[in-house]
């Protein structure tokens, strides 16, 4: 199989590329990534010379170059997105461009160039906040809260329209919150782990009791691989971590693993429109063979150890673009 992965230099995309090359020897992967602040070729260092892997630096909004590069490929798996909710609140425009128009562009490329299959990497955030006791299935209504999740929901609807109108073979994968090595340290877990290592405060939004469902990144990659090979065209598949925890629980766990004081936790102003809880059912993807392998306990410990042992990876990031952004918006 010849797979185009867009956004493959980011957190989940880079793990997916490494996962596929290992699991399916002989598969070819072309990574198309604009290398925004979140794209990092260091994430792919170990496979950069693999003859089955190639890379093109390009924006998914630019049709021409991508059309030429992807000739002969079977499938596009679209990870490329602006992915951070807080940034979407401060600077929403680029979310519309990449997450909506970029998706449209890739769909048009598939339609006009006869690419056999398109997989959209979406998110549980498109369902919006779940009440306590409520769990969303793939049939639940879309009710996004932030410009980020609204742009992802818009993209999902476009993808579904290409299935209905043009009979294109598509799938949509909606996963819960991923965590693991190589996640950009603006997201909750890597921000809190790296701040704790540096003895900096951990800024916990609101009352710290918002609930997220944590999924180890490799389990998500395995789920996407399952959909790639066994997904029924036109279908949406949720991938859940089945590990819902309040943010304060995760913060305390991180501090415990690192042997740091809970006094590092600092309650700060809440995120506007902050979804209280995410909860999705993953019974449908289980029916086509996926099972989670890594418990939150094991995954979180491994993740904390990775950040402790790979300071060179995140120190560069935290002193560069990230610091500039943080100073503009938070100080
Ligand atoms: P990330 O921000 O780490 O990586 C995004 C990648 O996309 C980067 O390499 C970036 O350079 C690239 N990119 C951004 N704009 C681009 C453009 N216009 N053209 C080409 N490349 C572009 O994101 P992530 O956390 O790895 O998320 C990947 C996908 O998974 C996203 O679509 C996101 O919505 C979805 N998702 C993420 C999570 C999560 O917890 N991280 C959960 C559910 C779904
Ligand atoms: O500094 C922080 N303090 C804090 O309390 C940050 C960055 C976050 N939080 C809270 C907000 C959320 O309740 O932690 C929780 C997780 O926050 P994020 O890591 O920003 O993730 P979230 O907003 O849940 O969105 C993530 O999951 C779904 C990803 O960023 C999305 O790309 C994905 O679609």
Q: Is residue 283 part of a domain?
A: no
Q: Give me the domain span that covers residue 136.
A: 2-176+216-239
Q: What is the pLDDT along the chain (331 residues), one digit of tens a residue?
A: 999 999 999 999 999 999 999 999 999 999 999 999 999 999 999 999 999 999 999 999 999 999 999 999 999 999 999 999 999 999 999 999 999 999 999 999 999 999 999 999 999 999 999 999 999 999 999 999 999 999 999 999 999 999 999 999 999 999 999 999 999 999 999 999 999 999 999 999 999 999 999 999 999 999 999 999 999 999 999 999 999 999 999 999 999 999 999 999 999 999 999 999 999 999 999 999 999 999 999 999 999 999 999 999 999 999 976 667 666 665 4
Does the CB atom of residue 76 touch ligand 1 within 6 A?
Answer: no
Which DSSP letter does residue 294 get? -
Residue 246 among the catalytic residues:
no
CA of 233 from ligand 2 middle (Å) equals: 31
Q: Is the alpha carbon torsion for 121, 12, 91, 197 positive or negative?
A: positive
Q: Is residue 60 part of a domain?
A: yes
Identify the three-state secondary structure at position 161. helix
CATH classification of the domain holding 111: 3.40.50.720
In this structure, which residue's CA is closest to atom 34 in ligand 1? 83
23 and 158 in a common domain: yes
Task: Look at strands 53-57 and 117-123 and give their pairing.
Answer: unpaired
Residue 148 among the catalytic residues:
yes
90 and 234 in a common domain: yes
220 and 131 in a common domain: yes
**Cβ atoms of residues 241 and 176 within 8 Å:** yes
In this structure, which residue's CA is closest to atom 17 in ligand 1? 59
47 and 67 in a common domain: yes
103 and 54 in a common domain: yes
Task: Look at strands 28-33 and 2-6 and give their pairing.
Answer: parallel
- Backbone φ and ψ for 265, nearest 5 degrees, come out as -70, 130
CATH classification of the domain holding 189: 3.90.25.10
Report the nearest atom of ligand 1 relative to the CA of 183: 3
């Amino acid at each position: 199989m010849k797979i185009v992965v867009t956004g493959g230099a980011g957190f989940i995309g880079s793990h997916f590329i490494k996962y596929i090359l290992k699991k399916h020897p002989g598969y070819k992967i072309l990574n198309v990534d604009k290398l925004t602040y979140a794209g990092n070729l260091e994430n792919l260092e170990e496979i950069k010379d693999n003859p089955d892997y190639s890379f093109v630096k390009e924006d998914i909004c630019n049709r021409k170059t991508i059309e030429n590069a992807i000739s002969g490929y079977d499938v596009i798996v679209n990870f490329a997105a602006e992915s951070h909710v807080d940034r979407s609140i401060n600077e929403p425009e680029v979310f519309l461009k990449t997450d909506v128009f970029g998706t449209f562009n890739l769909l048009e490329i598939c339609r006009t160039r006869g690419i056999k299959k398109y997989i959209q990497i979406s998110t549980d955030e498109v369902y919006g906040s779940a009440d306590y006791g409520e769990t969303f299935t793939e049939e639940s209504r879309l009710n996004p809260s932030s410009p980020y999740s609204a742009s992802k929901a818009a993209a999902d609807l476009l993808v579904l329209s290409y299935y209905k109108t043009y009979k294109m073979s598509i799938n949509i994968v909606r996963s819960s919150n991923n965590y693991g090595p190589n996640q950009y340290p603006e997201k909750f877990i890597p921000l809190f782990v790296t701040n704790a290592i540096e003895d900096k405060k951990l800024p916990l939004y609101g009352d710290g009791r918002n609930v997220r469902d944590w999924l180890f990144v490799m389990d998500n990659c395995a789920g996407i691989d399952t959909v790639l090979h066994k997904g029924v065209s036109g279908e949406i598949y949720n991938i859940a971590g089945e590990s819902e925890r309040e943010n304060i629980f995760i913060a305390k766990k991180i501090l415990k693993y690192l042997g740091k004081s809970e006094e590092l936790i600092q309650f700060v102003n809440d995120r506007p429109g902050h979804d209280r809880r995410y909860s999705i059912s993953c019974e449908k993807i289980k029916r086509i063979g996926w099972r989670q392998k890594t418990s939150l306990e094991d995954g979180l410990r491994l993740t904390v150890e990775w950040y402790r042992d790979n300071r060179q990876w995140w120190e560069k990031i935290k002193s560069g673009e990230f610091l500039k952004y943080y100073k503009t918006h938070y100080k």
